[in-house]
A and B are shown apart, each in its own frame.
Chain A
Amino acid sequence: MSSFIVDILTVASDVLIAVGSLVIVIGALGLLRMPDVFTRMHAAGMIDTTGAGFVFAGLILKAGFGLVAFKLVVLMGLLFFTSPVATHALARAALYGGVSPHLAEDSELDGMVEGYPIARE
C-alpha cells in the first residue's frame, strides 16, 4: 500500500517536472521567435512563473515532507515575489530608454505616445 503511494508520488512529480520543462522549452522558443524586447519578455515571463513553478512543485513532491520541501516552498515564494519586479524594471528601463515597442496596427498608439519617448516610424 505504501509503495503504491510512493509510486503515485513519483509519477506525479515526474509529470510535473516534465510539464515544467516543456513550458521552459516553449518559453525559450518564444524568446527566439518574438519580434521585439517587450514581446520577448512575455515568453521569458512564462519560464520563470509557470515553468519554474511546475518544476518546483515536482521537486517538492520528490523531496517528501521535511526541511528540504519547506526550503523549496520558500524559494518558490521568493521567486514569485522577485521575478515580476525584475521584469517590470527591465520593461520600464526599455521604455524610458527609448526602445519603441513593436505595436499592432489596430492598437491605439496615438494615445500612448505622450509621456514616453516612443519614436514614430
Chain B
Amino acid sequence: MRLISLATVLFAFWLLLSGHYTTLLIAIGLIAVIGTVLLARRMGVADEEGHPIHLLVGALSYWPWLALEIIKSTIAVSRLVLAPGLAVSPRLVKVRAGQKTPVGINIYANSITLTPGTITVDVKGDVLTVHALTRESAADLASGAMDARVRRLEGGEWKVARGAEGGEGSAGEGEVGAARGEEGRQ
C-alpha cells in the first residue's frame, strides 16, 4: 500500500519535472519509478518513517498554522534586528518532545528550527536542546503550543488504532502542562 503511494508520488514528480507527455518519456519514467520503488523496498526505507504519507491530512492543517507562527516570529526578530540596542538575550533551553514516533519528534525539531528565534541544536532521545534568541522566544516554546500541535498531527490515526485517548499527554508530563491545557479545549 505504502509502495503504491510512493510510486504515485514519484511518478507525479517525474511528470511535473519533465513536462513532456509522449509515450516514450512516460514509459522511461515508469521504469525509473518502478526501479526506485524496488530499491527503496530492498533498502527498507519505504516505511512509515521514510515515506510518512499517513501524516499528509494532518499536515494540511498544521502547515498554515506553522506558516503563521513563522511570520509572527519573523516580525519579532526583525524588530530586534532593526532596534538600535540589539536587545538579544540568547540562551539554551531543554524541551521535552511529547511525540511518540521518531517522525513526530523530527517534525517538532524541524518546526522549531524553521521558526525564527529558535534553533534545535541537539536531540537526545526525546529531549531537545534549543538555542533561543530571546527570553520571549524561549517562553513561547516552553508554553508547549507547538508540541501539542505536532502531537495532534501525528496522533490522528494512532489514537484511533489504539482505541483510547489514554496515551495522550502521558509522554510529556510536567514540563508541557500548558500543552495539555490547550488540548483540553479541543
Contacts and interface: CB of A to CB of B under 8 A. Distances in A.
Given A45-B119, A46-B77, A46-B78, 18 more contacts: A23-B74, A30-B77, A30-B78, A30-B80, A30-B81, A39-B90, A43-B116, A50-B70, A84-B114, A87-B119, A88-B109, A88-B113, A94-B121, A104-B135, A106-B91, A107-B90, A112-B94, A112-B129
Interface residues of B, number: 37
Interface of A: 23, 26-27, 29-30, 33-36, 38-39, 41-43, 45-46, 49-50, 53, 67, 70-71, 74, 80-81, 83-85, 87-88, 91-92, 94-95, 101-104, 106-109, 112, 116
Given A91-B121, A92-B122, A43 B16 contact: no
B90 A104 contact: yes
Contacts of A34: 81, 86, 88
Nearest to B77: A46
A13 B71 CA distance: 17
B80 to A, nearest CB: 8
A49 B70 contact: yes
B133 interface: yes
Contact of B92 (A50, A53, A112): A112
A41 B17 CA distance: 32
Interface of B: 13, 16-17, 19, 67, 70-71, 74, 77-78, 80-82, 86, 88-92, 94, 109-111, 113-122, 129, 131, 133, 135
Contacts of B13: 74
Interface centre among B71, B89, B116 (most CB of A within 10 A): B116
